[in-house]
Amino acid sequence: MKPRTDLTTGPITSTLLLFALPTLGSSVLQSANGSIDAVWVGNLLGENALAATTNGNLVMFLLTAFVFGFGMAATILIGQAIGRGSMHEAKEVVGTAVGTFAPLAVLIAVVGWFLAPHLLAVLGTGPEITPLARAFLRVTFLAMPAILMQTMLMMALRGAGDALTPLIFMALAVVLDVILNPLFILGKGPFPQMGIGGSAFAMAVANYTSLVAMLVYVYLRRHPLRLTGTELQMLRPAPHILRLMLSKGLPIGLQMVVVSSAMLTMMSLVNREGVDTTAAFGANQQLWTYVQMPAMALGAAVSAMAAQNIGAGRWDRVSRITRVGIALNFLLTGGLVLALAFADRYALALFLGADSPAIAIGQHIANVATWGFIAFGITMVLFGTIRANGQVIWPLIILTISLYPVRLGVALGLRGWLGVDALWLSFPVAMVATMLMAGALYLHGGWRRDSAISHLEDAEVAELGPQLSVTTEASPPTSPRNPGLPPARETTPAE
């Protein structure tokens, strides 16, 4: 199946769904991979080893969160450039992204190897698991260049309308990781016995192999975003593109940090309620990871598709893409919420055991809170559209408000009236609050005037300066770094 790069024509519903499904598949594979790795480590090395991996996974998540932000910025810029018919500008974004983050990822690996013991001390790692955690974290840092660059490239490909290639090579990385984990942990066959470090080493081998295979595939298939010949000079970061990626990417990365820190705060409140309640909440968190995946995939698909249509000036399609995304969210996320309502006991038993007293608590938590993910899905679609035109500050502000003053306000402020149920109710209340604020931003926020690609062109013109002043009436304006390309099409909203 050949990846489709043009998302500005054709039926919206089928195109959006076919684009979102591979992204959803990638998310499911990532989560399943983490779960399977935990099973290998826990069963082969014991509870201390499993606890030690938590530190490495936390560091990996925080680093990936920031790269996700810059990858999302690249998705927006690439999508708008392709929508405008400027593959050259799309390649410039790819070149700047790779040229900037490849050396940075290597630097992170080297510095992380030496700072791992100090980082564990900052995280407050217990002395009984520190040696295991140090061995795991150091090898995890060695895997980071492949993980970070693969994340960046996969998001760039999605910005070009290609969600299938990332799925193929995510699947390759997951399969290799699952197979290699026990081999490197136990030292089977020709593989060395590495203990807990073997789990991280398997992850490194799997991701480096997948990254190289993806690059080979991109060039053999002559993917439109590949850099060849003189285009390789684009790997030298363009300052105006890098500035724009930083200004758009940092707030998106911070959103993930805000979400994580808010969850850690809520977790500290849940831990006070006893072991059974904590276990029940943890089991629901595992289920919620999968419930929210369709919303996340739809949000990413809407963002990539809307970016191309904004670049092409097709604002009528942008509005329809948003409406279709919301309808598909009701179908997919709503369907999962409904299915879980009927099968919650069986689903919770997978994590808690069939006879656990925590199951009844877990069912109550699910009944109070899980429906909120429908509102969460609508928010992801609205934020996906808004971000597609470069507006990233207001979504960060909205998330911060809903996750701290709103969620914590309900959890703590209503505690005396509702008891522990105030904790569970705070989740859907925060999700609904986020949805309402996102809806107000979408309808009245003025985000349609904030064009990321026009900022790119303005920055480029300012950087080149006076040399652009010499033009003639006989020659139509062209992109200064892309001779022969037509000027940008008008992007006045049709709504």
pLDDT at 220: 93
pLDDT tens digits, 377-393: 999 999 999 988 888 88
pLDDT at 326: 95
- When mean pLDDT is compared across 239-253, 329-343, 448-462, the lowest value belongs to 448-462
Residue 127 to residue 283: CA distance in whole angstroms: 28
pLDDT tens digits, 297-307: 999 889 888 98
Residue position matching structure tokens 């859907």? 428
Averaged pLDDT score across all residues of the chain: 82
pLDDT tens digits, 21-54: 888 888 888 877 777 777 777 777 776 676 667 6
pLDDT tens digits, 179-230: 998 999 888 888 888 888 888 899 999 999 999 999 999 999 998 889 998 9
Dihedral sign for Cα atoms in the order 204, 37, 295, 270: negative
pLDDT at 466: 42
Whether the predicted pLDDT of 280 surpasses 80: yes
Model-level pTM?
0.76
Instruction: Give the residue, 204 or 4, on which the prediction is more confident.
Output: 204
Among 240, 249, 337, smallest CA distance to 287 is for 337
Length of the chain: 495
pLDDT at 311: 85
pLDDT tens digits, 78-136: 888 888 888 888 899 999 999 988 998 899 889 888 888 887 777 666 677 778 888 88
Instruction: Give the residue, 173 or 494, on which the prediction is more confident.
Output: 173
- Confidence class for position 492, pLDDT limits 50, 70, 90: very low
Residue 493, SS3? coil
Among 281, 384, 377, 265, smallest CA distance to 330 is for 377
Residue 298 to residue 492: CA distance in whole angstroms: 25
Dihedral sign for Cα atoms in the order 152, 154, 158, 160: positive
pLDDT at 328: 94
pLDDT at 320: 93
